[in-house]
Amino acid sequence: ADIEQSFGSYNSKITRGTVTGPISDTVSYRVSGNRNTRDGYIDNLQPGRDAVNDRNRYALRGQLLIEPSDELTIRVIADTSSIEEDCCGAPFYYNDPGNAATTTALGATILPDDIYKREIKFDRAMETDQAQSGYSMQLDWEPGSYSFTSLTAFRDFEETNDIDADFIDIELSGVLQNNVDRQVFTQEFRLQSTGDNKVDWLLGYYYYDADQDSGGNNRLGEFARPFFDSRIGGIVSLVESIAGAPTGSYIESGTGRTSEFNLLTTSHSVFGKLDWHINDKLTASLGTRWTTEDKEIDARMTTDAPYSAIDFTDSSDPVVATLAGFNPAFPTFAGFVQLFRPVSDFSEKRSEQEPTGELIISYEYSDDVSLYASGKRGYKAGGFNVGAGAGGADFDKELADAWEVGAKIRAFDNKLQFNVAAFSQRLRDFQTNAFNGTNFTLTNAGVIQIDGLEFDTLYAPTPNLFLSFAGSYLDAEYESYVGGPQLVRPAGSTPPLPPVQDLSGKPLSGVPEWTFSSSINYVKSFGAVEGFANLAARYRGSRNVTSEQNPIADQDSYVTANATVGIRDADGFWTVTLWGKNITDEEYTDALFNSVIQAGSFNAYPGDPRTYGVTLRLQF
């Protein structure tokens, strides 16, 4: 048995436990579980509201290992987990002065643009609930010169969330609720050779079936219309007048859209691999896979916001044509504040077939040095965007061609281990999240080229001291991305920007050139007690963290460090560990996004602050 209890910052409490043992000569079990609670570390200054970004989750997992004979092994696993948290708060990283002045005039409390104060003030809930469970059975049978494996699995996942999307204490955005219910069944069969052979082989089949129901309820808040009237003058009122609509009926509080989606996915794959041991040192491996995937989506949209019925990109529409007569830019401004774009119920299907494979040449130069080279073709299926604002827009499959050469080196009686690899990847129709002005949608970003070098080193100069150092260099750019997402500027900005921009030649969003990590681990015996200490650091280089490459989202490099120190008895019965994470309280963010409704402003998720605590562990 293994029992562990941690206490830490923000009233953190983590309990873990594992029990394992035999039931009979042929059956054994293992049961593990954990409970994780913590107060939030982003304070909500709204009266009556608790801090957000808390922790409240648990997980249970049970296993049975059945060995009825030397040839047959059966492993059965069941698990369940739950999350009920107030997540996630995103303070303003930059609040456009015009937006700030308008919301202040409407009664909002505007906090300083400092995400690291970890303060917010919003008036609605920020709730995320998840529940999932899974079951699997793996059967391994090895009668002689071959082995057979069957892996059957089922997983059920449910999530609901209710959030305050505008992150302020007046309602620009009203209700924003989403839900997902997904069931996934998979089956895999593998047949492969065993023993020492000139040629090793493997054949397999994989089946995937998913049924996902999702939906949402998105409503406008009380102050959406006054906010837009202030930011773009009386254009919405002008559209009402042209269309003959009742005054105040466009962008009306409480109106919006509900959506229901059903997405079915079925995939079949057959695969095989040959390992040809040409001699004692040289091996050639060839793998191939053929995948077919079918997706079917059925969507139902209910919109009670009459402003959403107008397509402001259709110049032949009488309302749009009349509006353009006042000013050619007016249709663009009017469409910019149309949070629910015209969309209808739809049902669509898509099918794909794609071969993939790999070729690997490995050479054992000596007992301490091995070399390899590989070429691979990868594939990621296309699909449909599921969301009220995405309108079911589909995206194409992604293809990746990757080449790599590397070496694995051992030296000084295995005290030193060094791995290094150089690689080049070319991704066509790269799938990426892009902001379309009102929502994030998966889209294809043309061609991505990534060239890089990575290494990792482990060195143990003495039995007590272990050193590690790893790093990577990435030259990653959009080689071709002519339809990239456009910069989002405040409503009414002139002149209006084109709907897309050419990001060709720009660095890949969110990817730094340099990344390093290192650690020092020291162990010292004091008779019946052993002491240990560890210091680990990670460097992440500068990068831009928005899909549209907005200069405001350029992030500097940063270093985070974690540390542990503790003691344990020589037999491992008990352990006491003091730990700290982000011990220098480094300020950083890797997630920054356009503010909802408040175009031109940005919210961000700050990285976790410094935390510390103690962990007690018993093994018996």
Residue matched to tokens 């009670």: 304
By the 8 A CB rule, do 204 and 272 touch?
yes
- pLDDT value of position 485: 86
DSSP secondary-structure letter at 52?
B
223: left (phi over 0), alpha (psi -120 to 50) or beta: alpha
DSSP secondary-structure letter at 111?
P
Would strands 119-120 and 43-44 be described as parallel, antiparallel, or unpaired?
parallel
Position 67 pLDDT exceeds 90: yes
- pLDDT value of position 184: 99
What are the b/e assignments for 515-551, b being 16+ CB within 10 Å?
Answer: bebbbebeeeeeeeebebebbbbbbbbebbbbbbbbe
Position 389 pLDDT exceeds 70: no
Token code pair at residue 221: 């808040």
- Name the 3-class secondary structure at 210: strand
By the 8 A CB rule, do 179 and 145 touch?
no
Q: Which residues have CB under 8 Å from 97's CB, separation 6+?
A: none
**What is the distance between the alpha carbons of residues 108 and 124, in angstroms, rounded to a whole number?**
13
Q: How many CB atoms lie within 10 A of CB 400?
A: 18
Question: Tell me: the pLDDT tens digits for 145-194?
Answer: 899 999 999 999 999 999 898 999 999 998 889 999 999 999 999 999 99
- Band of residue 284 on the pLDDT scale cut at 50, 70, 90: very high
- pLDDT value of position 392: 60
pLDDT > 90 in the chain, percent: 79
Q: How much is the average pLDDT of 23-39?
A: 97
**What is the distance between the alpha carbons of residues 450 and 438, in angstroms, rounded to a whole number?**
30
- Band of residue 439 on the pLDDT scale cut at 50, 70, 90: low
Phi, psi of 352 (to 5 degrees): -140, 150
By the 8 A CB rule, do 161 and 121 touch?
no
Token code pair at residue 131: 């529940």
- Least Cα distance to 544 among 580, 567, 513, 576 occurs for 513
| Domain boundaries defined on the chain | 399-620
Q: Lowest-confidence range among 80-94, 240-254, 479-493?
A: 479-493
DSSP secondary-structure letter at 225?
H
- pLDDT value of position 436: 56
- pLDDT value of position 305: 86
Position 438 pLDDT exceeds 70: no
What is the full DSSP assignment across 434-497? Answer: EE-SS-EEEEE-SEEEEEEEEEEEEEEEETTEEEEEEEEEEEEEEEE-TTEEPPP--TT-SSPP
Position 491 pLDDT exceeds 80: no
- pLDDT value of position 500: 85
Q: Lowest-confidence range among 118-127, 533-542, 582-591?
A: 118-127
- Band of residue 92 on the pLDDT scale cut at 50, 70, 90: very high
Token code pair at residue 441: 């949608």
- Band of residue 54 on the pLDDT scale cut at 50, 70, 90: very high
Q: How much is the average pLDDT of 395-423?
A: 97
- Band of residue 300 on the pLDDT scale cut at 50, 70, 90: very high
Question: Tell me: the pLDDT tens digits for 449-463?
Answer: 999 999 999 999 999
Reported residue count of the chain is 620
Which of the listed ranges 115-119, 123-127, 481-485 does the model predict with the highest average pLDDT?
115-119
Domain 399-620 in CATH 2.40.170.20? The answer is yes
- Least Cα distance to 327 among 453, 413, 259, 234 occurs for 234
- Name the 3-class secondary structure at 152: strand
Token code pair at residue 289: 């896979």
Task: Tell me what the pLDDT averaged over the chain comes to.
Answer: 93
Position 497 pLDDT exceeds 80: no
By the 8 A CB rule, do 187 and 149 touch?
no
DSSP secondary-structure letter at 378?
E
**What is the distance between the alpha carbons of residues 245 and 239, in angstroms, rounded to a whole number?**
8
Rounding to the nearest 10 degrees, give the CA dihedral for residues 113, 114, 119, 121: 10
- pLDDT value of position 391: 57
- pLDDT value of position 51: 93
Phi, psi of 482 (to 5 degrees): -75, -20
In DSSP terms, which residues pair with 152 in a beta bridge? Answer: 137, 187
Name the strand (E) or helix (H) holding 334: helix 330-336
- Band of residue 313 on the pLDDT scale cut at 50, 70, 90: confident
By the 8 A CB rule, do 558 and 517 touch?
no
